[in-house]
């Protein structure tokens, strides 16, 4: 089976009815780009930059160290796009054992991701400068995690601009970037038009969107049986995010685990998704599903599933 799949590596991901689908890789280190390319990914949809920051006992990577890491990822993809997510520490990704996330009662609802970045503007500016500099070496997209509020969007965009001005002032070379927002808080999924006003693309983080929609801690085993990607509320938020992005001609991707789950591929296609980002090990299996799918047939089925109280019962139809 693995051998059969590996033959699909160079096959374009196109559905039976001719829809081109973008299959991207999620990575955690610059060296993962080799695995991403070997799997046939056409870009990196999610570089989880926090892995450069974790387990360092408070000693965070400075601008130059980050620049070299991002540049290595960009060069590793040989001209294919690389989406670098700004640091998403906190909750399930504690920075180190000095500032442990579990010092707080509800770390998943606490100072994580963009909230932490905005509370540490010097650190955030250093990361933004490093990413902008790496963009001089290839196609770079910046992705911002956990946004929910208009003022967070405003502050983030102002800091991106400030990072550019700082580089200008120093005469340092940098490149153009596309800016994207993660949709992973229900509040964001319900206000997608606000995000579309400010961002070039969206990426849905279903791992967190499920956690926050269903009030299920994604790392708590005791409630793991309630963590349901097919809950109608999750599907509705996902579906409207995809539809609203497409209506405005802006790319929407899914980069949570759902995108790499072959049992979800047909449903995501039926909801209109055309870009998937996943662990490299899943790319070929998802491509196989895509090659067998006809999106014209999947659309009506997906609508029925979305209207159902128990979508899981219709999934294998």
> Which chain residues interact with ligand PEP by CB under 6 A?
46, 48, 88, 184, 205-208, 255-256
- Cβ-based nearer residue to ligand PEP, 108 or 269: 108
Provide, rounded to whole angstroms, the least separation between the CB of residue 188 and Mg ion. 11
Q: Report the sign of the C-alpha dihedral through residues 276, 27, 176, 162, in that order.
A: positive
- Cβ-based nearer residue to Mg ion, 26 or 33: 26
As a whole number of angstroms, the distance between CA 67 and CA 258 comes to: 30
Residue 90 binding result from Mg ion, ligand PEP, none, given CB thresholds of 5 to 8 Å by partner type: none
- Cβ-based nearer residue to Mg ion, 184 or 244: 184
Provide, rounded to whole angstroms, the least separation between the CB of residue 304 and Mg ion. 29
Residue 256 binding result from Mg ion, ligand PEP, none, given CB thresholds of 5 to 8 Å by partner type: ligand PEP
Beta strands in the chain (DSSP E): 22-27, 44-48, 82-85, 140-144, 177-183, 201-204, 252-254, 275-278
Residue 288 binding result from ligand PEP, Mg ion, none, given CB thresholds of 5 to 8 Å by partner type: none
- The contact set with Mg ion (CB under 5 A) reads 184, 205, 208
Residue 32 binding result from Mg ion, ligand PEP, none, given CB thresholds of 5 to 8 Å by partner type: none
**Residue reference for tokens 């791992």:** 207
As a whole number of angstroms, the distance between CA 141 and CA 127 comes to: 13
As a whole number of angstroms, the distance between CA 274 and CA 23 comes to: 9
Is-contact 117 226, C-beta < 8 A?
A: no
158 CB-near residues (< 8 Å, 6+ apart): none
- Cβ-based nearer residue to Mg ion, 211 or 289: 211
Residue 206 binding result from ligand PEP, Mg ion, none, given CB thresholds of 5 to 8 Å by partner type: ligand PEP
**Residue reference for tokens 């890491």:** 69
- Cβ-based nearer residue to ligand PEP, 137 or 264: 264
Provide, rounded to whole angstroms, the least separation between the CB of residue 46 and Mg ion. 9
């Amino acid at each position: 089976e693995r051998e059969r799949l590996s033959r699909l590596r160079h096959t374009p991901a196109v559905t039976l009815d001719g829809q081109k689908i973008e299959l991207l890789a999620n990575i955690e280190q610059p060296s993962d780009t080799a695995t991403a390319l070997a799997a046939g990914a056409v870009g990196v949809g999610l570089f989880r930059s926090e892995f450069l920051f974790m387990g360092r006992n408070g000693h965070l990577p400075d601008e130059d160290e980050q620049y070299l890491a991002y540049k290595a990822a960009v060069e590793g993809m040989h001209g294919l796009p690389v989406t670098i997510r700004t640091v998403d520490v906190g909750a399930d990704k504690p920075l180190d054992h000095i500032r442990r996330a579990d010092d707080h009662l509800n770390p998943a609802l606490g100072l994580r991701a963009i909230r932490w970045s905005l509370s540490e503007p010097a650190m955030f500016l250093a990361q933004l400068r490093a990413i902008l500099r790496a963009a001089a070496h290839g196609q770079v997209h910046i992705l911002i995690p956990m946004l929910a509020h208009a003022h967070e969007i405003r502050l983030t965009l102002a800091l991106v601009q400030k990072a550019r001005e700082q580089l200008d002032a120093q005469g340092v070379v940098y490149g153009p970037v596309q800016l994207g927002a993660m949709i992973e808080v229900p509040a964001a999924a319900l206000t997608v038009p606000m995000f579309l006003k400010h961002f070039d693309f969206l990426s849905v983080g279903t791992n967190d969107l499920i956690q926050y929609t269903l009030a299920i801690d994604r790392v708590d085993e005791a409630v793991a049986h309630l963590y349901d990607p097919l809950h109608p509320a999750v599907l509705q938020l996902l579906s409207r995010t995809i539809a609203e992005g497409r209506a405005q001609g802006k790319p929407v991707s899914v980069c949570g685990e759902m995108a790499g789950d072959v049992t979800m591929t047909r449903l995501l296609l039926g909801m209109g998704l055309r870009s998937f980002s996943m662990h490299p090990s899943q790319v070929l299996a998802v491509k196989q599903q895509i090659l067998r799918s006809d999106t014209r047939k999947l659309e009506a089925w997906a609508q029925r599933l979305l209207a159902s109280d128990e979508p899981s019962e219709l999934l294998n139809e």
